[in-house]
């Protein structure tokens, strides 16, 4: 009898502990407002049609930054109907731009109470934690330092993700030198402490930022193991070089799992890495050099057999210690990148000395030789894309550095669209680009659309909806037409959300490799910068449910699975496009 009682008590204790532990670490359902107690008002709108006309007019005026003209229109809207967070938001921004600070504060606080997701508004950003920073800016302009700091802290508590740029915000210039502001902006450093203590201070700040930003930080590592890693690093710091400390930080960030957690060890004040003058890519038949600086161009096309004395397969496996990822496709994409960083190679015991990296390569004839390339200071402009080949006129020979472009393929009655970055091009907005695409679809009436997003690692997800409209239009014009989507290992982040939306709204044929993320994943980029070293990176600050709640897929699988070999790539062949052409021709 007693034993059954204690078993039940033990189970209940474990359940309560696990439940509270998960709730403490999972912030995905945490809201900045409370819907209970917000009593709706009965509408005073006498002419709903006119109200709508005025609402559109207000949005147009705000988007034209005609603040003076917008102000009375928005005030009239709110007097008639005060329950719309969008109108309070644009009113708050309008007051802000007109330097009516107290009114801006009141309107923006009301916005937070009601909530808004309004986008495409100049000078504004709709997430509540961004609006909290606007409120802090207004308080700063009023000379109310205490309220300024309080609202910055409130924003930080709700995972504000651009802390590193607070120090340069001109609204805060009057308090920029204060200790309180330097602490909340993340730049404060204690005086008269040693190098070791400064690095330990960076570690403490990094841990606090991970805990502040990560939406569910103990989903892949236990709290005990995480704290044990932190204590070990803290103890080792006196024996490590600057770069070795940064490497330990990289492992710590990677331990939290998922693909939006990483450190970029470039451009830091202290501890920046060096890299090889080579770019690697993992094909179906091994790791190859696909790009090199001029001095090493003759190595392009060579297979990498060993790095130092470590077989390349083992080296790739060890890279998992620094490569936080959503799935193993992302490892195929990013492991070659990490193997190009000298201090990572040393930290993973792939080589003995980060200053001398010897690589064993193999020619197409099977002949092996070793090379020791000169290292260069690491640079970073985004994770690598597979380069286009010279001397190839194949349509797949992508202009990977171009944001988006298209080409008509008359022999397949197809419009080929390549989309490489989820943001607006400086030369043409994505909205305008899609208007052009729709005109082409109406004019040419292609039977097939080929959308190539295999080299798109994401960006600003609020910018891609015009493409969804384009694809829906195509299917309405051509109900028997085919929509092909070429995808791959670095179809990631916002591009992955686009892939899921296309699947939800249309009937695409997916071609290529599995995607580099999960349908429902921890995502978003919460930026951090360490105060002493200047080391920077991102932490997953949001949970994105882009599919059904029950969707536990580890990736989006292709309907037409196609891998790429080194022989195909270096010959200028594109098996994905070849498969699409065969499907089109098999009517």
Residues 55, 15 within the same domain: no
Residues 175, 116 within the same domain: yes
560-561 and 509-512: which strand pairing? parallel
Q: Is 405 exposed, middle or buried (0-12, 13-18, 19+ CB in 10 A)?
A: middle
**What distances in angstroms separate CA 305 from CA 275, 308, 320, 542, one per listed residue?**
18, 10, 19, 39
Listed as own residue / partner, the contacts of 399-405 with beta carbons closer than 8 Å and 24 or more positions apart are 400/455, 404/430, 404/433
pLDDT tens, the chain, 587 aa long: 454 544 444 333 333 333 334 344 577 677 777 888 888 888 889 999 999 999 999 999 999 999 999 999 999 999 999 999 999 999 999 999 999 999 999 999 999 999 998 988 888 887 899 999 999 999 999 999 999 999 999 999 999 999 999 999 999 999 999 999 999 999 999 999 999 999 999 999 999 999 999 888 898 899 999 999 999 999 999 999 999 999 999 999 999 988 888 999 999 999 999 999 999 999 999 999 999 999 999 999 999 999 999 999 999 999 999 999 989 999 999 999 999 999 999 999 999 999 999 999 999 889 999 999 999 999 998 888 898 876 676 766 657 778 999 999 999 999 999 999 999 999 999 999 999 999 999 999 999 999 999 999 999 998 999 999 999 999 999 999 999 999 999 999 999 999 999 999 999 999 999 999 988 887 777 899 999 999 999 998 877 777 788 889 889 999 999 999 999 999 888 999 999 999 999 86
Looking at 351-509, list the stretches that DSSP marks H as alpha helix, in order from N- to C-terminal side.
430-444, 465-477, 494-505
Task: For residues 264 and 516, give the distance between their C-alpha atoms in angstroms, rounded to a whole number.
Answer: 19
> First CA to last CA across the chain, in angstroms?
73
Residues 102, 105, 109, 115: what is their CA dihedral angle, to the nearest 10 degrees?
A: 130
- Is residue 278 within 8 A of residue 289, CB to CB? The reply is yes
Which of the listed residues 329, 351, 384 is the one where a domain comes to its end?
384
Does residue 534 form part of some domain? no
Candidates 230, 206, 317, 215; CA nearest to 260 is 215
Q: Where are the beta strands (DSSP E) in 301-355?
A: 303-307, 310-311
Number of domains in the chain: 4
Q: How is 408-444 classified by DSSP, letter by letter? A: EEGGGTEEEEEE--BS--SSS-HHHHHHHHHHHHHHH
Does residue 233 form part of some domain? yes
Residues 151, 209 within the same domain: no
Which of the listed residues 185, 216, 242 is the one where a domain comes to its end?
185
Residues 367, 489 within the same domain: no
Listed as own residue / partner, the contacts of 405-408 with beta carbons closer than 8 Å and 24 or more positions apart are 406/437, 406/440, 408/440, 408/444, 408/446
Does residue 389 form part of some domain? no
Residues 178, 262 within the same domain: no
Q: Is 456 exposed, middle or buried (0-12, 13-18, 19+ CB in 10 A)?
A: buried
Residues 339, 441 within the same domain: no
Residues spanned by the domain of 3: 1-30
Does residue 170 form part of some domain? yes
Does residue 103 form part of some domain? yes
Does residue 355 form part of some domain? yes
CATH number at residue 124: 1.25.40.10
- Is residue 270 within 8 A of residue 202, CB to CB? The reply is no
Residues 243, 363 within the same domain: yes
Tokens of 205: 């700040």
Does residue 537 form part of some domain? no
Residues 173, 245 within the same domain: no
Per-position b or e across 158-182, b if 16+ CB within 10 A of its CB: bbbbbbbebbebebbeebbeeeebb
Those residues with Cβ within 8 angstroms of residue 455's Cβ, 6 or more apart along the chain or in another chain: 385, 386, 398, 400, 420, 488, 490
Tokens of 420: 């490489």
- Is residue 393 within 8 A of residue 426, CB to CB? The reply is no
């Amino acid at each position: 009898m007693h034993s059954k009682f204690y078993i039940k008590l033990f189970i209940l204790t474990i359940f309560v502990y696990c439940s509270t532990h998960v709730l403490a670490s999972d912030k995905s359902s945490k809201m900045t407002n409370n819907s209970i107690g917000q009593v709706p008002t009965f509408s005073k709108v006498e002419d709903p049609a006119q109200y709508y006309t005025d609402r559109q007019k207000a949005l147009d005026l705000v988007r034209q930054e005609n603040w003076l003209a917008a102000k009375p229109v928005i005030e009239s809207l709110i007097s008639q109907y005060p329950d719309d967070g969008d109108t309070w938001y644009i009113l708050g921004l309008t007051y802000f731009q007109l330097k009516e600070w107290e009114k801006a504060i009141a309107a923006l606080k009301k916005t937070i109470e009601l909530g808004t997701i309004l986008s495409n508004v100049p000078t504004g950003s709709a997430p509540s934690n961004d609006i909290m920073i606007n409120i802090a800016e207004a308080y700063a302009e009023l000379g109310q330092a205490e309220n300024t700091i309080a609202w910055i802290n409130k924003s930080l508590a709700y995972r504000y993700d651009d802390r590193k740029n607070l120090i340069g915000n001109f609204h805060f210039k009057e308090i920029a030198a204060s200790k309180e502001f330097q602490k909340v902006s993340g730049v404060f450093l204690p005086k008269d402490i040693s190098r070791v203590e400064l690095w330990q201070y960076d570690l403490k700040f990094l841990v606090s930022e991970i805990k502040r930003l990560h939406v569910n930080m103990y989903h892949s590592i236990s709290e005990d193991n995480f704290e044990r890693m932190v204590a070990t690093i803290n103890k080792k710091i006196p024996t490590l070089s600057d770069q070795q400390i940064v490497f330990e930080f990289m492992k710590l960030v990677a331990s939290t799992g998922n693909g939006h957690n990483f450190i970029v060890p470039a451009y830091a004040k202290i501890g920046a890495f060096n890299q090889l003058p080579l770019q690697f890519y993992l094909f179906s038949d091994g790791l190859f050099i696909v790009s090199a600086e001029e001095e090493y161009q003759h190595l392009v096309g060579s297979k990498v057999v060993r790095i130092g004395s470590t077989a390349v397969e083992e080296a790739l496996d060890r890279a998992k210690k620094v490569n936080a990822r959503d799935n193993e496709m992302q490892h195929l994409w990013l492991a070659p990148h990490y193997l190009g960083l000298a201090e990572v190679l040393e930290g993973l015991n792939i080589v003995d000395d980060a200053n001398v990296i010897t690589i064993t390569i193999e020619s197409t004839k099977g002949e092996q030789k070793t090379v020791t390339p000169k290292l260069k200071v690491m640079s970073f402009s985004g994770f690598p894309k597979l380069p286009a080949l010279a001397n190839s006129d194949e349509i797949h020979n992508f202009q990977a550095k171009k944001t988006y472009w298209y080409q008509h393929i008359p022999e397949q009655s197809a419009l080929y669209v390549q989309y490489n970055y989820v943001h607006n091009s400086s030369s043409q907005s994505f909205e305008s680009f899609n208007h052009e695409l729709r005109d082409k679809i109406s004019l040419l009436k292609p039977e097939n659309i080929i959308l190539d997003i295999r080299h798109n690692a994401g960006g600003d997800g609020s910018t891609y909806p015009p493409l969804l409209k384009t694809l829906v239009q195509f299917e309405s014009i051509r109900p028997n037409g085919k929509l092909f989507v070429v995808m791959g290992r670095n179809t990631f982040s916002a591009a992955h959300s686009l892939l899921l939306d296309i699947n939800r709204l249309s009937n695409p044929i997916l071609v290529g490799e599995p995607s580099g993320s999960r349908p429902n994943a921890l995502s978003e980029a919460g930026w951090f910068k360490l105060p002493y070293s200047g080391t920077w990176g991102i932490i997953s600050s949001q949970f994105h449910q882009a599919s059904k709640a029950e969707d536990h897929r580890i990736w989006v699988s292709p309907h037409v699975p196609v891998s790429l070999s080194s022989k195909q790539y270096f010959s200028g062949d594109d098996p994905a496009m070849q498969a699409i052409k065969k499907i089109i021709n098999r009517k």
